[in-house]
A and B are shown apart, each in its own frame.
Chain A
């Protein structure tokens, strides 16, 4: 036991004492936050474009009004959505939270274009090349900065159908172009309905319509309407499944590289003269498990702290699901089983390899197997009782990830107990197999193949 702890401690220290480990540990939550915040920041930082809308001739009459109306309507719609969100925030986080949320949403929700007054020389110019030459000038630096425009929209009709020539300051900016396209599509539809004898007010009312849908389920907390609280376990299940997959694979890969490095540096043979193969394997698996545990604790701590700071009520709900719903227990059990299975397998492969290239022979098929739970995970959350998900859950290699994802949907107890028992039984079998392969591989100079690996398991390094 003392040797196992010595090896585990060295393994842990070898990584935990490096700056790189802590940097990569903190990088995940940092990038997760950035991934969520960055698009919003980019959106709020996006400038509001000054747009001029002109009708090129009497045949385009009414189109400018349609564009102006659409801008006004879109702004009203966004304001209404913002008011709803602010009210919700006030309900959950008080007045201060609502105010902050309102300001943030205001920055994010505003339409990124506004229609400005048309310069006199532009409106006075004849439609065609003369007007377009002036428009081009207003989009460049030839006019004072205060007078510069971001876009000039020249509306007309081609074969009687609404059309436009959209000039923009930047060739890659298609915001105004997209907006105008949608408006002209609506205008064309409205005109078509009107020609068919349908009242314009009816058309507008139809377009404004937003259905009021209420999700209900007898399994919801109230036995009726489904709330965010009811959907939370599903979200946690999905996140748990992916997190578990990521942690298990990361831990097992660390172990593979560690063993491979010791094999390449000829340290394994020295270790084997001081400790048994089982002690070395156990020590290394334990050391990397401690590392994985550290990662979970740090990520969990950051997540808890971040959620508490951002929204205490949601944090309380997450805590309730994890603790009262038993999700945490499931997560730990599946983490232990999953890590054990993959860690010992990767360690055994590492014992035969001196370079990552050597390991590719065996890692290829294993990585292919590992993509299956990722592909099925979303299905396991949405339709946890589908036969495919149920069958795959019984395959020990997939059990930890799929059952973690299914756990919130409360699968039958026979499945929970059966798959967990199967997973741990298989993990023990893997420990036995990998132990034999590890011992054989540690002293072997043979280039690894599946055949050689199977032979090593049969021979057990004798």
Chain B
């Protein structure tokens, strides 16, 4: 499949601070790619370089066959991380204005705006002022404004932030439709659940460097399966079970502990459970968990406290 976007050895430096270091990856046409990383990993800087808003300090970027995002800006749709529209404009006027900046005739822009707002359940709000809309509504309007000109490549910077679960689902559906209509979608997020559900491919970024590039399944395969045990048992007893390693105590209350342990390659949960019963361990809960993208992310980027905190916060936000 042909690449819609290629980055080769891209770096970005602000004075003494290295925001992005030697970053290379590709996004194939018509796919949804998740650009994952904790806050401050360099995602926004990379997206700005792709768009041509900032120059790369080193490396090469090719988007839609051009080495400068500014030359193909009319074929790109962009939703920035921090969103805002003219507060006194109506949604229809705002969408038509941003469409016109991308070369869409104003009349056609207004027509499409009305259709898209209706499709998103915002038909009744189309003539209200932006300042009268809720945050979720305003974000939908902004997303529509960024894709009203039917771009070939859509870049969404943290599109789910600040949205409630219902609106997050709606946004996921919009992203799927964009890809189904043939657009290539690159979106950044630190919420792994969205990436798990949406992406054909993910690129993990940590401290400005690429930590992984591949499918979600490939990412998950890089991490070990986990056992979660709950009962009046200690870490040494759990570590003695077959195939189990890296036991850690998650919580402890009144002598009852929750333990988490990795199940090694070829390790079988049934054997560990059988050994626990035969050993007479007081096990009240035994759960075998397949690694999530979240686990893979932790495993790939290292258990850095900042990263872990950011990812956990993202996971909670998604829930």
Contact = CB atoms under 8 A, between A and B. Distances in A.
Interface residues of B, number: 26
Q: Counting chain B CB atoms within 10 Å of each CB, which of A274, A276, A462 scores highest?
A: A274
Interface stretch (A92-100, A263-271, A344-352, A418-426): A263-271
Contact of A273 (B73, B88, B97): B73
Nearest to B56: A462
A443 B53 contact: yes
A266 B84 contact: yes
A272 B78 CA distance: 10
B114 interface: no
Contacts of A275: 73, 101
A267 B103 CA distance: 18
A274 B86 contact: no
A265 to B, nearest CB: 4
B80 A274 contact: no
A270 B78 contact: yes
B140 interface: no
A3 B101 contact: yes
A443 B81 CA distance: 12
Contacts, number: 54
A10 interface: yes
Contacts of A462: 54-55
A267 B142 CA distance: 10
A73 interface: no
A278 B145 CA distance: 22
Nearest to B79: A270
Contacts of A273: 51, 53, 73, 76, 78, 80
Contact of B53 (A6, A14, A269): A269
Given A269-B53, A443-B53, A443-B54, A274 B84 contact: no
B316 interface: no
A461 interface: yes
B219 to A, nearest CB: 29
Interface string B87-101: 110000000011011
A272 B155 CA distance: 14
Interface in B96-117: 97-98, 100-103
Contact of B101 (A6, A265, A443): A6
Q: Counting chain A CB atoms within 10 Å of each CB, which of B51, B88, B101, B146 scores highest?
A: B101
B80 A269 contact: yes
B98 A14 contact: no
B172 to A, nearest CB: 22
A14 B48 CA distance: 28
Interface string A246-271: 00000000000000000011110111
Given A10-B97, A269-B80, A462-B54, A274 B87 contact: no
B29 interface: no
Contacts of B142: 270
A6 B98 CA distance: 10
Contact of B83 (A6, A264, A266, A276): A266
Nearest to B57: A462
Interface in A390-444: 443
Closest 5 CB pairs of A and B: A265-B84, A266-B84, A274-B101, A273-B78, A266-B82
12 contacts: A3-B101, A10-B97, A265-B87, A266-B80, A266-B82, A269-B53, A270-B84, A272-B53, A274-B98, A443-B48, A443-B54, A461-B54
Interface of A: 2-3, 6-7, 10, 14, 264-267, 269-276, 443, 461-462
Given A266-B84, A273-B80, 17 more contacts: A2-B103, A6-B101, A14-B86, A14-B88, A265-B85, A266-B80, A266-B82, A266-B83, A267-B84, A269-B53, A270-B85, A272-B53, A273-B53, A274-B98, A275-B101, A443-B48, A462-B55
